[in-house]
Structure 1
Protein backbone atom coordinates (compact mmCIF):
# COMPACT_ATOMS: atom_id res chain seq x y z
CA UNK A 1 0.00 0.00 0.00
CA UNK A 2 1.36 3.45 -0.84
CA UNK A 3 2.01 5.36 2.39
CA UNK A 4 3.03 8.92 3.20
CA UNK A 5 6.50 8.86 1.57
CA UNK A 6 5.32 7.29 -1.69
CA UNK A 7 2.22 9.49 -1.98
CA UNK A 8 4.32 12.58 -1.17
CA UNK A 9 6.79 11.67 -3.92
CA UNK A 10 3.98 10.74 -6.30
CA UNK A 11 2.24 14.07 -5.70
CA UNK A 12 5.47 15.93 -6.45
CA UNK A 13 6.10 13.88 -9.58
CA UNK A 14 2.58 14.43 -10.92
CA UNK A 15 2.46 18.10 -9.92
CA UNK A 16 5.42 18.82 -12.18
CA UNK A 17 3.84 17.00 -15.11
CA UNK A 18 0.12 17.70 -14.83
CA UNK A 19 0.00 21.31 -13.64
CA UNK A 20 -1.27 23.58 -16.40
CA UNK A 21 -2.59 20.75 -18.54
CA UNK A 22 -6.31 20.82 -19.22
CA UNK A 23 -8.59 17.97 -18.19
CA UNK A 24 -10.60 16.79 -21.18
CA UNK A 25 -12.46 13.94 -19.51
CA UNK A 26 -12.39 11.67 -16.46
CA UNK A 27 -13.65 8.19 -17.23
CA UNK A 28 -14.37 5.71 -14.42
CA UNK A 29 -13.89 2.12 -15.59
CA UNK A 30 -14.36 -0.01 -12.47
CA UNK A 31 -17.94 0.07 -11.20
CA UNK A 32 -16.93 0.63 -7.59
CA UNK A 33 -14.29 3.33 -8.00
CA UNK A 34 -16.37 6.56 -7.93
CA UNK A 35 -17.68 7.38 -4.45
CA UNK A 36 -19.40 10.75 -5.13
CA UNK A 37 -21.93 12.15 -7.58
CA UNK A 38 -22.07 15.88 -6.77
CA UNK A 39 -20.28 17.66 -8.33
CA UNK A 40 -20.27 15.39 -11.38
CA UNK A 41 -17.04 14.38 -13.05
CA UNK A 42 -18.01 16.60 -15.97
CA UNK A 43 -17.32 19.61 -13.71
CA UNK A 44 -13.62 18.82 -14.10
CA UNK A 45 -13.72 19.05 -17.88
CA UNK A 46 -12.11 22.04 -19.55
CA UNK A 47 -10.22 23.07 -16.41
CA UNK A 48 -6.43 23.13 -16.09
CA UNK A 49 -4.77 21.22 -13.29
CA UNK A 50 -3.69 23.74 -10.66
CA UNK A 51 -1.72 21.45 -8.35
CA UNK A 52 -1.31 17.89 -7.10
CA UNK A 53 -1.06 17.56 -3.32
CA UNK A 54 -1.12 14.96 -0.56
CA UNK A 55 -3.44 14.59 2.44
CA UNK A 56 -2.29 11.63 4.50
CA UNK A 57 -2.40 8.77 1.97
CA UNK A 58 -4.86 10.63 -0.30
CA UNK A 59 -3.76 12.13 -3.62
CA UNK A 60 -5.47 15.43 -4.47
CA UNK A 61 -5.60 16.62 -8.09
CA UNK A 62 -6.91 20.18 -7.85
CA UNK A 63 -8.25 22.03 -10.88
CA UNK A 64 -8.09 25.78 -11.34
CA UNK A 65 -11.14 27.38 -9.64
CA UNK A 66 -12.92 24.05 -9.87
CA UNK A 67 -13.39 20.71 -8.16
CA UNK A 68 -10.74 18.37 -6.80
CA UNK A 69 -10.32 14.79 -7.93
CA UNK A 70 -9.17 12.94 -4.82
CA UNK A 71 -7.78 9.42 -5.05
CA UNK A 72 -7.14 6.84 -2.36
CA UNK A 73 -4.99 4.13 -3.90
CA UNK A 74 -5.76 1.59 -1.15
CA UNK A 75 -3.62 -1.55 -1.01
CA UNK A 76 -3.04 -2.31 -4.67
CA UNK A 77 -3.72 0.92 -6.55
CA UNK A 78 -1.26 2.96 -8.59
CA UNK A 79 -1.07 5.53 -11.36
CA UNK A 80 0.63 5.53 -14.73
CA UNK A 81 1.34 8.55 -16.91
CA UNK A 82 0.71 7.88 -20.56
CA UNK A 83 2.09 9.89 -23.47
CA UNK A 84 -0.78 8.78 -25.71
CA UNK A 85 -4.21 7.30 -25.06
CA UNK A 86 -6.45 5.21 -27.30
CA UNK A 87 -9.18 7.24 -28.98
CA UNK A 88 -11.86 4.77 -27.93
CA UNK A 89 -13.17 5.06 -24.37
CA UNK A 90 -12.05 2.30 -21.98
CA UNK A 91 -14.45 -0.56 -21.42
CA UNK A 92 -15.23 -2.06 -18.03
CA UNK A 93 -13.77 -5.51 -17.69
CA UNK A 94 -11.50 -7.73 -15.68
CA UNK A 95 -8.34 -5.71 -16.25
CA UNK A 96 -6.62 -3.50 -13.66
CA UNK A 97 -7.72 -0.16 -15.14
CA UNK A 98 -10.03 1.61 -12.69
CA UNK A 99 -10.13 5.20 -13.93
CA UNK A 100 -8.68 7.21 -16.80
CA UNK A 101 -7.93 10.93 -16.84
CA UNK A 102 -7.72 12.17 -20.41
CA UNK A 103 -5.94 15.50 -20.98
CA UNK A 104 -6.53 17.83 -23.89
CA UNK A 105 -3.00 17.43 -25.29
CA UNK A 106 -3.56 13.70 -25.87
CA UNK A 107 -1.69 12.54 -22.78
CA UNK A 108 -3.35 11.09 -19.72
CA UNK A 109 -3.23 9.28 -16.43
CA UNK A 110 -4.38 5.72 -15.88
CA UNK A 111 -5.33 4.74 -12.34
CA UNK A 112 -5.06 0.98 -11.86
CA UNK A 113 -5.75 -1.55 -9.14
CA UNK A 114 -4.38 -5.08 -9.06
CA UNK A 115 -6.02 -8.06 -7.39
CA UNK A 116 -9.61 -9.01 -6.75
CA UNK A 117 -10.32 -6.82 -3.71
CA UNK A 118 -11.39 -3.50 -5.20
CA UNK A 119 -10.82 -0.80 -2.59
CA UNK A 120 -9.44 2.03 -4.69
CA UNK A 121 -11.64 5.13 -4.34
CA UNK A 122 -12.12 8.33 -6.35
CA UNK A 123 -13.99 11.41 -5.13
CA UNK A 124 -14.96 14.54 -7.05
CA UNK A 125 -15.43 17.25 -4.43
CA UNK A 126 -15.40 21.03 -4.03
CA UNK A 127 -13.13 20.76 -0.99
CA UNK A 128 -10.83 17.85 -0.01
CA UNK A 129 -12.30 18.05 3.50
CA UNK A 130 -15.57 16.79 1.98
CA UNK A 131 -13.94 13.36 1.64
CA UNK A 132 -14.81 11.49 4.86
CA UNK A 133 -11.38 9.86 5.11
CA UNK A 134 -9.63 13.23 4.89
CA UNK A 135 -12.00 14.84 7.37
CA UNK A 136 -11.06 12.15 9.91
CA UNK A 137 -7.29 12.42 9.44
CA UNK A 138 -5.08 13.00 12.44
CA UNK A 139 -2.06 15.32 12.31
CA UNK A 140 0.55 14.93 9.60
CA UNK A 141 3.73 13.64 11.29
CA UNK A 142 6.07 15.69 9.09
CA UNK A 143 4.60 19.10 9.88
CA UNK A 144 6.08 21.47 12.45
CA UNK A 145 2.84 21.22 14.46
CA UNK A 146 3.52 17.54 15.13
CA UNK A 147 5.75 17.97 18.17
CA UNK A 148 7.03 15.46 20.67
CA UNK A 149 4.52 16.76 23.24
CA UNK A 150 1.56 16.57 20.85
CA UNK A 151 2.58 13.00 20.01
CA UNK A 152 2.73 12.14 23.71
CA UNK A 153 -0.74 13.60 24.22
CA UNK A 154 -2.12 11.39 21.45
CA UNK A 155 -0.73 8.27 23.10
CA UNK A 156 -1.87 8.91 26.68
CA UNK A 157 -5.44 7.68 26.19
CA UNK A 158 -4.58 4.82 23.84
CA UNK A 159 -5.02 1.47 25.57
CA UNK A 160 -4.08 -0.26 22.35
CA UNK A 161 -0.92 -1.81 21.03
CA UNK A 162 1.39 0.82 19.60
CA UNK A 163 1.46 -0.86 16.19
CA UNK A 164 -2.29 -0.32 15.75
CA UNK A 165 -2.12 3.24 17.05
CA UNK A 166 0.57 4.23 14.54
CA UNK A 167 -1.52 2.80 11.68
CA UNK A 168 -4.74 4.53 12.74
CA UNK A 169 -5.27 7.39 10.28
CA UNK A 170 -7.45 9.29 12.76
CA UNK A 171 -4.48 9.40 15.15
CA UNK A 172 -1.60 10.04 12.73
CA UNK A 173 -2.06 10.66 9.02
CA UNK A 174 -0.16 8.71 6.40
CA UNK A 175 1.58 5.95 8.36
CA UNK A 176 0.66 2.42 7.34
CA UNK A 177 1.86 -1.11 7.86
CA UNK A 178 5.32 -0.71 6.38
CA UNK A 179 6.51 2.47 8.07
CA UNK A 180 5.03 1.57 11.43
CA UNK A 181 7.16 -1.62 11.29
CA UNK A 182 10.20 0.42 10.29
CA UNK A 183 9.75 3.09 12.96
CA UNK A 184 9.20 0.53 15.72
CA UNK A 185 12.33 -1.34 14.67
CA UNK A 186 14.34 1.90 14.65
CA UNK A 187 12.98 2.69 18.15
CA UNK A 188 13.78 -0.88 19.34
CA UNK A 189 10.20 -1.17 20.55
CA UNK A 190 7.77 -4.09 20.58
CA UNK A 191 4.78 -3.66 18.26
CA UNK A 192 2.68 -5.15 21.08
CA UNK A 193 3.61 -2.47 23.65
CA UNK A 194 0.62 -0.58 24.99
CA UNK A 195 0.75 3.01 23.78
CA UNK A 196 -0.49 4.56 27.03
CA UNK A 197 2.13 2.68 29.05
CA UNK A 198 5.16 4.05 27.22
CA UNK A 199 7.59 5.94 29.42
CA UNK A 200 8.55 9.52 28.65
CA UNK A 201 11.89 8.35 27.28
CA UNK A 202 10.19 5.72 25.10
CA UNK A 203 7.81 8.31 23.69
CA UNK A 204 10.77 10.54 22.81
CA UNK A 205 12.67 7.71 21.13
CA UNK A 206 9.63 6.61 19.13
CA UNK A 207 8.79 10.18 18.09
CA UNK A 208 12.29 10.72 16.75
CA UNK A 209 12.36 7.30 15.07
CA UNK A 210 9.03 7.90 13.36
CA UNK A 211 9.98 11.33 12.01
CA UNK A 212 13.43 10.17 10.89
CA UNK A 213 12.05 7.05 9.21
CA UNK A 214 9.47 9.03 7.26
CA UNK A 215 11.82 11.87 6.32
CA UNK A 216 14.48 9.45 5.10
CA UNK A 217 11.89 7.56 3.04
CA UNK A 218 10.60 10.80 1.50
CA UNK A 219 14.12 11.81 0.53
CA UNK A 220 14.81 8.39 -1.03
CA UNK A 221 11.57 8.56 -3.01
CA UNK A 222 11.84 12.19 -4.09
CA UNK A 223 12.53 12.63 -7.78
CA UNK A 224 11.69 9.06 -8.74
CA UNK A 225 9.19 8.41 -11.51
CA UNK A 226 5.86 6.91 -10.50
CA UNK A 227 6.75 3.47 -11.81
CA UNK A 228 9.91 3.36 -9.68
CA UNK A 229 8.41 4.22 -6.30
CA UNK A 230 7.22 0.76 -5.29
CA UNK A 231 10.67 -0.76 -5.86
CA UNK A 232 12.28 2.15 -4.04
CA UNK A 233 10.05 1.52 -1.01
CA UNK A 234 10.94 -2.17 -0.94
CA UNK A 235 14.66 -1.45 -1.27
CA UNK A 236 14.60 0.95 1.67
CA UNK A 237 12.94 -1.28 4.29
CA UNK A 238 14.93 -3.03 6.99
CA UNK A 239 12.29 -5.34 8.50
CA UNK A 240 8.98 -4.85 6.73
CA UNK A 241 8.36 -7.53 4.12
CA UNK A 242 11.61 -9.28 5.08
CA UNK A 243 10.46 -12.18 7.25
CA UNK A 244 13.10 -14.90 7.31
CA UNK A 245 15.94 -12.56 6.39
CA UNK A 246 18.63 -11.31 8.75
CA UNK A 247 18.12 -8.17 10.79
CA UNK A 248 20.59 -5.58 9.44
CA UNK A 249 21.26 -4.37 13.00
CA UNK A 250 21.85 -7.54 15.03
CA UNK A 251 21.79 -10.42 12.54
CA UNK A 252 18.84 -12.24 14.14
CA UNK A 253 16.13 -13.62 11.88
CA UNK A 254 13.27 -11.23 11.13
CA UNK A 255 9.98 -12.69 12.34
CA UNK A 256 6.36 -12.19 11.39
CA UNK A 257 2.94 -12.04 13.02
CA UNK A 258 0.12 -12.61 10.55
CA UNK A 259 -3.48 -11.48 10.78
CA UNK A 260 -6.44 -12.10 8.51
CA UNK A 261 -5.48 -9.55 5.89
CA UNK A 262 -2.11 -8.17 6.96
CA UNK A 263 1.09 -9.01 8.79
CA UNK A 264 3.81 -7.26 10.75
CA UNK A 265 7.53 -7.95 10.83
CA UNK A 266 9.93 -7.37 13.71
CA UNK A 267 13.25 -8.43 15.20
CA UNK A 268 12.93 -10.22 18.52
CA UNK A 269 16.48 -9.37 19.61
CA UNK A 270 16.16 -5.66 18.83
CA UNK A 271 12.55 -5.13 19.87
CA UNK A 272 11.19 -7.68 22.35
CA UNK A 273 14.15 -8.80 24.43
CA UNK A 274 14.27 -12.06 22.50
CA UNK A 275 10.63 -12.98 23.10
CA UNK A 276 8.69 -14.38 20.15
CA UNK A 277 5.32 -12.70 19.67
CA UNK A 278 2.14 -14.72 19.20
CA UNK A 279 1.27 -15.59 15.61
CA UNK A 280 -2.46 -16.25 15.57
CA UNK A 281 -2.29 -18.37 12.44
CA UNK A 282 -0.72 -21.03 14.65
CA UNK A 283 -2.97 -20.31 17.67
CA UNK A 284 0.06 -19.64 19.82
CA UNK A 285 -0.18 -17.35 22.85
CA UNK A 286 3.42 -16.63 23.66
CA UNK A 287 4.18 -13.75 25.97
Structure 2
Protein backbone atom coordinates (compact mmCIF):
# COMPACT_ATOMS: atom_id res chain seq x y z
CA UNK A 1 0.00 0.00 0.00
CA UNK A 2 1.34 3.48 -0.83
CA UNK A 3 2.17 5.44 2.31
CA UNK A 4 2.71 9.11 2.99
CA UNK A 5 6.06 9.59 1.18
CA UNK A 6 4.82 7.71 -1.90
CA UNK A 7 1.61 9.72 -2.09
CA UNK A 8 3.49 12.97 -1.49
CA UNK A 9 5.56 12.27 -4.61
CA UNK A 10 2.52 11.12 -6.62
CA UNK A 11 0.71 14.36 -5.81
CA UNK A 12 3.70 16.48 -6.81
CA UNK A 13 4.11 14.68 -10.12
CA UNK A 14 0.41 14.60 -10.97
CA UNK A 15 0.12 18.33 -10.36
CA UNK A 16 3.11 18.89 -12.62
CA UNK A 17 1.69 16.69 -15.39
CA UNK A 18 -2.03 17.57 -15.15
CA UNK A 19 -2.25 20.97 -13.48
CA UNK A 20 -4.08 23.55 -15.59
CA UNK A 21 -5.79 20.96 -17.79
CA UNK A 22 -9.57 20.94 -18.18
CA UNK A 23 -11.48 17.77 -17.37
CA UNK A 24 -13.60 16.64 -20.30
CA UNK A 25 -15.09 13.40 -18.96
CA UNK A 26 -15.15 11.47 -15.69
CA UNK A 27 -16.01 7.78 -16.00
CA UNK A 28 -16.86 5.90 -12.81
CA UNK A 29 -16.90 2.13 -12.46
CA UNK A 30 -17.34 1.74 -8.70
CA UNK A 31 -19.90 2.05 -5.95
CA UNK A 32 -17.28 2.99 -3.35
CA UNK A 33 -18.20 6.68 -3.45
CA UNK A 34 -19.70 9.03 -0.89
CA UNK A 35 -22.49 10.35 -3.10
CA UNK A 36 -24.30 9.59 -6.34
CA UNK A 37 -22.12 9.22 -9.44
CA UNK A 38 -24.07 11.94 -11.27
CA UNK A 39 -23.27 14.46 -8.54
CA UNK A 40 -19.55 13.71 -8.77
CA UNK A 41 -19.49 13.93 -12.56
CA UNK A 42 -21.39 17.22 -12.61
CA UNK A 43 -19.19 18.76 -9.90
CA UNK A 44 -15.92 18.27 -11.77
CA UNK A 45 -16.97 18.21 -15.45
CA UNK A 46 -15.49 20.94 -17.61
CA UNK A 47 -13.42 22.34 -14.74
CA UNK A 48 -9.69 22.99 -14.70
CA UNK A 49 -7.51 20.94 -12.37
CA UNK A 50 -5.95 23.62 -10.16
CA UNK A 51 -4.23 21.52 -7.51
CA UNK A 52 -3.26 18.00 -6.50
CA UNK A 53 -2.24 17.41 -2.91
CA UNK A 54 -2.17 14.76 -0.21
CA UNK A 55 -3.59 14.41 3.29
CA UNK A 56 -2.99 11.23 5.22
CA UNK A 57 -3.31 8.35 2.77
CA UNK A 58 -5.56 10.17 0.29
CA UNK A 59 -4.91 12.18 -2.86
CA UNK A 60 -7.00 15.29 -3.46
CA UNK A 61 -7.75 16.71 -6.92
CA UNK A 62 -9.08 20.28 -6.88
CA UNK A 63 -11.52 21.21 -9.67
CA UNK A 64 -13.04 24.68 -9.31
CA UNK A 65 -14.85 24.81 -5.97
CA UNK A 66 -14.93 21.02 -5.63
CA UNK A 67 -12.43 18.38 -4.60
CA UNK A 68 -12.27 14.76 -5.72
CA UNK A 69 -10.50 12.53 -3.17
CA UNK A 70 -8.94 9.14 -3.96
CA UNK A 71 -7.88 6.46 -1.51
CA UNK A 72 -5.84 3.83 -3.36
CA UNK A 73 -6.22 1.27 -0.54
CA UNK A 74 -3.95 -1.79 -0.81
CA UNK A 75 -3.74 -2.46 -4.55
CA UNK A 76 -4.84 0.73 -6.27
CA UNK A 77 -2.63 1.94 -9.13
CA UNK A 78 -2.61 5.16 -11.15
CA UNK A 79 -1.83 5.27 -14.87
CA UNK A 80 -1.33 8.25 -17.20
CA UNK A 81 -2.37 7.39 -20.74
CA UNK A 82 -2.50 9.05 -24.13
CA UNK A 83 -5.45 7.67 -26.04
CA UNK A 84 -7.80 4.80 -25.23
CA UNK A 85 -7.78 3.13 -21.83
CA UNK A 86 -6.85 -0.55 -22.08
CA UNK A 87 -6.24 -1.10 -18.38
CA UNK A 88 -8.03 -3.92 -16.59
CA UNK A 89 -9.83 -3.38 -13.28
CA UNK A 90 -10.58 0.29 -13.96
CA UNK A 91 -12.20 2.13 -11.06
CA UNK A 92 -12.37 5.54 -12.73
CA UNK A 93 -11.04 7.54 -15.68
CA UNK A 94 -10.33 11.25 -15.71
CA UNK A 95 -10.25 12.24 -19.38
CA UNK A 96 -8.76 15.68 -20.04
CA UNK A 97 -9.40 17.86 -23.09
CA UNK A 98 -5.86 17.45 -24.41
CA UNK A 99 -6.32 13.67 -24.71
CA UNK A 100 -4.51 12.74 -21.50
CA UNK A 101 -6.32 10.24 -19.28
CA UNK A 102 -5.63 9.44 -15.64
CA UNK A 103 -6.86 5.95 -14.78
CA UNK A 104 -7.27 4.41 -11.34
CA UNK A 105 -7.25 0.60 -11.32
CA UNK A 106 -7.68 -1.89 -8.50
CA UNK A 107 -8.03 -5.67 -8.93
CA UNK A 108 -9.58 -5.86 -5.46
CA UNK A 109 -12.09 -3.07 -6.27
CA UNK A 110 -11.40 -1.56 -2.84
CA UNK A 111 -10.13 1.88 -3.93
CA UNK A 112 -12.48 4.66 -2.84
CA UNK A 113 -13.54 8.06 -4.18
CA UNK A 114 -15.20 10.96 -2.41
CA UNK A 115 -16.53 14.33 -3.50
CA UNK A 116 -15.66 17.18 -1.12
CA UNK A 117 -14.73 14.88 1.78
CA UNK A 118 -15.09 16.16 5.33
CA UNK A 119 -11.99 17.48 7.04
CA UNK A 120 -10.12 14.82 8.96
CA UNK A 121 -10.01 15.17 12.74
CA UNK A 122 -6.61 13.49 12.95
CA UNK A 123 -3.65 15.64 11.92
CA UNK A 124 -1.46 14.62 9.04
CA UNK A 125 1.85 13.12 10.17
CA UNK A 126 3.73 16.06 8.64
CA UNK A 127 1.46 18.75 10.08
CA UNK A 128 3.12 21.44 12.18
CA UNK A 129 0.79 20.48 15.04
CA UNK A 130 2.42 17.05 15.35
CA UNK A 131 4.90 18.14 17.99
CA UNK A 132 6.53 16.32 20.88
CA UNK A 133 3.99 17.93 23.23
CA UNK A 134 1.04 16.79 21.08
CA UNK A 135 2.47 13.30 20.82
CA UNK A 136 3.04 13.08 24.57
CA UNK A 137 -0.60 14.02 25.18
CA UNK A 138 -1.82 11.39 22.71
CA UNK A 139 0.36 8.62 24.12
CA UNK A 140 -0.21 9.33 27.80
CA UNK A 141 -3.75 8.00 27.82
CA UNK A 142 -3.25 4.59 26.20
CA UNK A 143 -1.37 1.37 26.84
CA UNK A 144 -1.71 0.35 23.20
CA UNK A 145 1.52 -0.69 21.51
CA UNK A 146 3.21 2.35 20.02
CA UNK A 147 3.18 0.86 16.52
CA UNK A 148 -0.58 0.43 16.70
CA UNK A 149 -0.93 4.10 17.64
CA UNK A 150 1.22 5.22 14.71
CA UNK A 151 -0.91 3.12 12.35
CA UNK A 152 -4.22 4.45 13.66
CA UNK A 153 -5.45 6.91 11.02
CA UNK A 154 -7.90 8.36 13.56
CA UNK A 155 -4.93 9.52 15.63
CA UNK A 156 -2.33 10.47 13.02
CA UNK A 157 -2.71 10.34 9.24
CA UNK A 158 -0.45 8.86 6.60
CA UNK A 159 1.80 6.34 8.34
CA UNK A 160 1.53 2.71 7.26
CA UNK A 161 3.22 -0.52 8.23
CA UNK A 162 6.59 -0.01 6.55
CA UNK A 163 7.18 3.54 7.74
CA UNK A 164 5.96 2.82 11.26
CA UNK A 165 8.76 0.27 11.50
CA UNK A 166 11.27 2.74 10.04
CA UNK A 167 10.22 5.56 12.37
CA UNK A 168 10.45 3.38 15.48
CA UNK A 169 13.82 2.02 14.43
CA UNK A 170 15.11 5.55 13.89
CA UNK A 171 13.82 6.59 17.32
CA UNK A 172 15.22 3.47 19.02
CA UNK A 173 11.83 2.41 20.42
CA UNK A 174 10.50 -1.14 20.30
CA UNK A 175 7.24 -1.35 18.31
CA UNK A 176 5.77 -3.39 21.19
CA UNK A 177 6.27 -0.66 23.80
CA UNK A 178 3.25 0.49 25.82
CA UNK A 179 2.59 4.02 24.58
CA UNK A 180 2.06 5.55 28.02
CA UNK A 181 5.31 4.06 29.33
CA UNK A 182 7.57 5.76 26.81
CA UNK A 183 9.63 8.41 28.63
CA UNK A 184 9.49 12.06 27.64
CA UNK A 185 12.93 12.14 26.00
CA UNK A 186 12.00 9.18 23.83
CA UNK A 187 8.68 10.77 22.85
CA UNK A 188 10.66 13.80 21.73
CA UNK A 189 12.97 11.54 19.70
CA UNK A 190 9.91 9.88 18.18
CA UNK A 191 8.39 13.19 17.07
CA UNK A 192 11.67 14.09 15.34
CA UNK A 193 11.90 10.66 13.73
CA UNK A 194 8.39 10.93 12.28
CA UNK A 195 9.29 14.05 10.31
CA UNK A 196 12.84 12.97 9.47
CA UNK A 197 12.00 9.50 8.19
CA UNK A 198 9.02 10.63 6.11
CA UNK A 199 10.73 13.64 4.52
CA UNK A 200 13.95 11.71 3.84
CA UNK A 201 11.91 8.94 2.21
CA UNK A 202 10.24 11.44 -0.12
CA UNK A 203 13.67 12.63 -1.25
CA UNK A 204 14.87 9.07 -1.82
CA UNK A 205 11.80 8.20 -3.89
CA UNK A 206 12.22 11.30 -6.05
CA UNK A 207 15.89 10.49 -6.54
CA UNK A 208 15.14 6.93 -7.64
CA UNK A 209 11.95 7.56 -9.68
CA UNK A 210 11.53 11.29 -10.40
CA UNK A 211 8.29 10.87 -12.39
CA UNK A 212 6.61 8.11 -10.39
CA UNK A 213 2.82 8.27 -9.91
CA UNK A 214 2.22 4.71 -8.75
CA UNK A 215 3.92 1.80 -7.04
CA UNK A 216 6.45 1.82 -4.22
CA UNK A 217 10.18 2.49 -3.95
CA UNK A 218 11.51 0.86 -0.81
CA UNK A 219 15.13 -0.12 -1.56
CA UNK A 220 16.47 2.50 0.86
CA UNK A 221 14.54 1.32 3.93
CA UNK A 222 16.79 0.30 6.82
CA UNK A 223 14.73 -2.18 8.84
CA UNK A 224 11.49 -2.93 6.95
CA UNK A 225 13.33 -4.89 4.29
CA UNK A 226 14.00 -8.43 3.11
CA UNK A 227 17.65 -8.00 4.02
CA UNK A 228 18.79 -9.88 7.09
CA UNK A 229 20.57 -6.93 8.71
CA UNK A 230 20.32 -3.14 8.95
CA UNK A 231 23.01 -0.90 7.40
CA UNK A 232 24.64 -0.96 10.87
CA UNK A 233 24.84 -4.75 10.73
CA UNK A 234 22.10 -5.36 13.33
CA UNK A 235 20.11 -8.57 12.72
CA UNK A 236 16.55 -7.77 11.66
CA UNK A 237 13.84 -9.61 13.57
CA UNK A 238 10.40 -10.21 12.07
CA UNK A 239 7.20 -10.82 13.99
CA UNK A 240 4.55 -12.50 11.87
CA UNK A 241 0.88 -11.60 12.09
CA UNK A 242 -1.83 -9.91 10.05
CA UNK A 243 1.01 -7.55 9.19
CA UNK A 244 4.71 -8.18 9.65
CA UNK A 245 6.71 -6.09 12.08
CA UNK A 246 10.42 -5.58 11.45
CA UNK A 247 12.62 -4.49 14.33
CA UNK A 248 15.97 -5.01 16.08
CA UNK A 249 17.01 -5.95 19.60
CA UNK A 250 18.61 -2.51 20.02
CA UNK A 251 15.18 -0.85 20.10
CA UNK A 252 14.24 -0.22 23.72
CA UNK A 253 11.08 -1.86 25.08
CA UNK A 254 9.00 0.17 27.52
CA UNK A 255 6.32 -1.69 29.46
TM-score w.r.t. the length of structure 1 is 0.80
Take 1:210 and 1:172, find their aligned partners in 2: how far apart are those partners?
Answer: 11
1:185-243 C-alpha deviation (Å, 9 max, x unpaired): 1112111101111111111121112211011012223472125751x2x112112142x
Which residue does the alignment assign to 1:135? 120
1:98 aligned to which of 91, 112, 119: 91
1:245 is matched with 228
Alignment of structure 1 residues 55-204 onto 2, 5 Å: 55-65=55-65, 67-86=66-85, 95-114=88-107, 116=108, 118-125=109-116, 128-129=117-118, 134-136=119-121, 138-204=122-188
Q: Is the 8 A contact 1:181 1:266 kept in 2?
A: yes
8 Å CA contact 1:85–1:107 kept in 2: the answer is no
- Aligned equivalents of 1:146, 1:33: Cα separation in 2: 31
Shift of 1:141: 2.6
Q: Secondary structure at the match of 1:101?
A: strand
Aligned partner of 1:271 in structure 2 is 251
Q: Which runs of 5+ in 2 are unaligned?
A: none
**How many residues were matched structurally?**
251
Give the match's secondary structure for 2:149: helix
**1:20 equivalent in structure 2:** 20
Match of 2:204 in 1: 220
Q: Distance in 2 between matches of 1:33 and 1:109?
A: 18
* 1:91-142 deviation digits (Å, cap 9, x = unpaired): 9xxx33221111111111011124x4x32101123xx32xxxx534x12232
Distance of 1:157 and 1:15 partners within structure 2: 40
Q: Which residue of 1 aligns with 2:238?
A: 256
Match of 1:11 in 2: 11
Q: Secondary structure at the match of 1:172?
A: coil
Shift of 1:82: 1.2
With normalisation by structure 2, the TM-score equals 0.90
